[in-house]
């Protein structure tokens, strides 16, 4: 807490006695995990494509995450602020539905 105080007036020795704003809000936003869930029907290649397109993974990383989901039932795509996590999840679910794959994606508070 103390390291977040007086960030707009770091040198208190120069204080004039006139009140200035001394407490800047620096609260970090809550972060949210985007998770992919396994199913028996979505092709591996589609999952890899989703991870590259929406989560900026390269081929090798996308294949690793896909196998992780396939073997463990769930896998981490990334950790984002709430709006970014929800938007990415919506994009994944939209493309999955339009492609007629049952792939599920969900947001979980970190
Ligand atoms: N289990 C799927 C299959 O065998 C592959 C798959 C991987 C599906 C990851 C969903 O999130 C997923 N074709």
Distance 84 CA to ligand 1 centre (A): 24
CA distances from 30 to 53, 84, 108 (A): 24, 12, 11
- Residue 46 pLDDT: 98
- Residue 21 pLDDT: 58
Mutate to test the pocket of ligand 1, among 39, 68, 93 (most ligand atoms within 8 A of CB): 39
- Dist. CA 85–CA 33, nearest whole Å: 7
* Residue nearest (by alpha carbon) to ligand 1 atom 4: 40
Going by C-alpha positions, the residue among 87, 85, 92 that lies closest to residue 62 is: 92
- Residue 26 pLDDT: 87
pLDDT, one tens digit for every residue, the chain (110 residues): 333 333 443 444 444 556 565 667 789 999 999 999 999 999 999 999 999 999 999 999 999 999 999 999 999 999 999 999 999 999 999 999 999 999 999 999 99
Residues with CB under 6 Å of ligand 1 are 36-40, 42-44, 47, 66, 69-70, 103
Instruction: State if pTM tops 0.85.
Output: no
Q: Coil, helix or strand for 51?
A: helix
């Amino acid at each position: 807490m103390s390291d977040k105080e007086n960030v707009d007036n770091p040198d208190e020795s120069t204080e004039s006695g006139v009140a200035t704003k001394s407490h800047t809000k620096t609260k970090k936003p809550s972060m949210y995990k985007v998770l992919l869930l396994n199913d028996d029907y979505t092709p591996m290649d589609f999952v890899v494509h989703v991870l590259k397109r929406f989560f900026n993974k390269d081929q090798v990383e996308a294949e690793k995450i896909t196998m992780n989901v396939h073997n463990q039932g769930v896998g981490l795509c990334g950790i984002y602020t709430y709006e970014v996590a929800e938007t990415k999840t919506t994009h994944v679910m939209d493309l999955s539905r339009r492609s007629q794959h049952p792939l599920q994606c969900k947001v979980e508070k970190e």
